[in-house]
Structure 1
Amino acid sequence: MTRVHDLNAVTTAIGEPSTPRLRLQRRGSPYGLLDGGWWPRSTNPVAELPGLILALDHLQGPVIRILLHRSDWTHQPVRLGLAGRVIRVAYFDSHPAGLLSAFTGASARGRIDLVVVPPETTFERADAAMTVAATQGNDLQAQDILDRLTRPDGGPGSGFGTQGG
């Protein structure tokens, strides 16, 4: 059986958006591979994306599109209604796992790349991962940061040990 999705359907979250657990580099920081990290509470984009989008709107300018890795999310709505507008959301197997790319209309770079820390991650490890991702001049890709999360000791020199860093 083939499932047909209405690509014009707009999905809107019910209730107030949650405050995102988010850490970003300071504006004007030297370019790194990532702009920061985000630790959602679930893998449901309808529940998680509105709070993040509103925070990024405030800090970086209006978000107009988001790219995600398909298998990181339980649902895949392609148009998200929020604050009187529609944000396009695309899911690709080819987009790196654990990476969210947000495109804005006002940012000088126009793109924000965040490592997406899995919801089940402990506070200490999530905090360390977001700190590394938001560090000025960070040269680790999202998957490298996430790979360190899965090591029992956090990996040598990773800053992901039980002390948080």
Structure 2
Amino acid sequence: MTTTLEWTAPRDLAAEFPARLSLTPKTTLAGRLDGAWWPYSRDLEGELPPLVAALEEPWGRITRVTVNPARWPVVPHMVPVDGRKLHVGWFTEQDPDKLILLSYTVGRWDLLVIPPETAPAAAARLMVAAAIPGSVLTAGVLMTNEAVIGRGIRDALRREAIWEGEGGACMSPFGSPIGRSALPLPENGWR
């Protein structure tokens, strides 16, 4: 029997789903980032149109985008968006985990770019952290912090699995785990 799997190209995937965004609420506190964006792929030409469409209502017409090419395999010079061309530039000096959006009418916004392969729990933490009003944390610092947090969580889960696997769990005489609070206590309490 032959099975045929149809692969959805990243461009089709990005166009099918709305942009995953977390934006800083409008306040008087200015921070380093204006929010976070979690793309579905590393295809800028496919990912930018839904992002720009989602941001044009609250931010106005976006005319330019800059990225660091370290995180994007192909950086096109222009991307078609709603019948017009969005100019895309790249700078190696720019933080690799940041996307800068420019508009003639309103100004500039900096978004943390969460890698597409990021686990949902980690992406959620990053989206919340990037949208804190007045935060002085940069995109690079947030990504470094998440790497440390993620490593700590993985280490804790590994230690717990070792503990449970080596007999650290309380076992009944019949070989099944029991809760630690179910241990028998002496009749008169402590002696």
TM-score norm. by structure 2 comes to 0.69
In structure 2, relative to structure 1, the CA distance for the partners of 1:64 and 1:118 (3 Å cut) is: same
Aligned-CA RMSD value = 1.7
Match of 1:132 in 2: 129
Q: Secondary structure at the match of 1:153?
A: helix
* Higher RCO (Cα < 8 Å, 6 or more apart): 1
CA distance in 2, matches of 1:16, 1:117: 18
CA distance in 1, matches of 2:95, 2:17: 25
CA distance in 2, matches of 1:120, 1:82: 25
The farther-off stretch of 120-129 and 25-34 is 25-34
Larger strand proportion of the pair: 1
User: How far is the alpha carbon of 1:149 from its aligned partner?
Assistant: 2.2
Paired residues in the alignment total: 140
Q: How big is each residue's C-alpha offset from its partner over 1:104-158, in whole Å with a ceiling of 9 and x where there is no partner?
A: 1222xx001000011111111111111111011111000001112222027xxxx
Output the amino acid matched with 2:134: G
TM-score norm. by structure 1 comes to 0.79
Counterpart mapping for 1:65-144 below 5 A:
65-107=64-106, 110-144=107-141
In structure 2, relative to structure 1, the CA distance for the partners of 1:86 and 1:101 (3 Å cut) is: same
Match of 2:145 in 1: 148
CA distance in 1, matches of 2:127, 2:118: 12
Counterpart mapping for 1:53-68 below 5 A:
53-68=52-67
Contiguous gaps of at least 5 residues in structure 1: 1-12, 155-165
4+ residue stretches of structure 1 with deviation over 4 A? none
Identity among equivalent positions (%) equals 30
In structure 2, relative to structure 1, the CA distance for the partners of 1:56 and 1:17 (3 Å cut) is: farther
Larger helix proportion of the pair: 2
Q: How big is each residue's C-alpha offset from its partner over 1:9-41, in whole Å with a ceiling of 9 and x where there is no partner?
A: xxxx77946411100011234101100001111
